[in-house]
Amino acid sequence: MVVLEFSIFPLDKGESLSEYVAHSLDIVDSSGLDYQCHAMGTILEGEYDQVMDVVKRCFERMAADCRRIECSIKFDYRQGYQGRLKGKVARVEERLGRPVRK
């Protein structure tokens, strides 16, 4: 399984980009994959082809309206493990002995 974090946004649409981010989140949500949205991006969990397909569809949707797009992607692959989206944070919380702010 892959835990993938990405951020995608247009560079040619001014300061407020929530409209374009919302298009991407609609694609992410409809994918059926486990995900978390945060202030600077989105984290997905799934098989490599699944998560990369979501990023591709987000790019294609944004490219329909935007002439310049920036996207950053990083991922962590670990064979045989799933549920890491929440599990990685839970293990840190166990070591701390308290929840972290989310």
CATH classification of the domain holding 36: 3.30.70.930
Q: How many separate domains does the chain show? A: 1
Residue listed under structure tokens 């407020």: 16
Residue listed under structure tokens 């399984």: 1
Question: Is residue 102 in a domain?
Answer: no
Each residue's pLDDT tens digit, 23-59: 999 999 999 999 999 999 999 999 999 999 999 999 9
Angle, CA of 91, 94 and 96, to the nearest 5°: 115
Angle, CA of 94, 6 and 19, to the nearest 5°: 115
Alpha carbon of 83 to those of 45, 58, 74, 78: distances in Å?
A: 8, 23, 18, 11
Looking at the DSSP bridge assignments, the partners of residue 6 are: 42, 73
Residue 38: give the domain boundaries. Answer: 2-96
Each residue's pLDDT tens digit, 1-16: 999 999 999 999 999 9
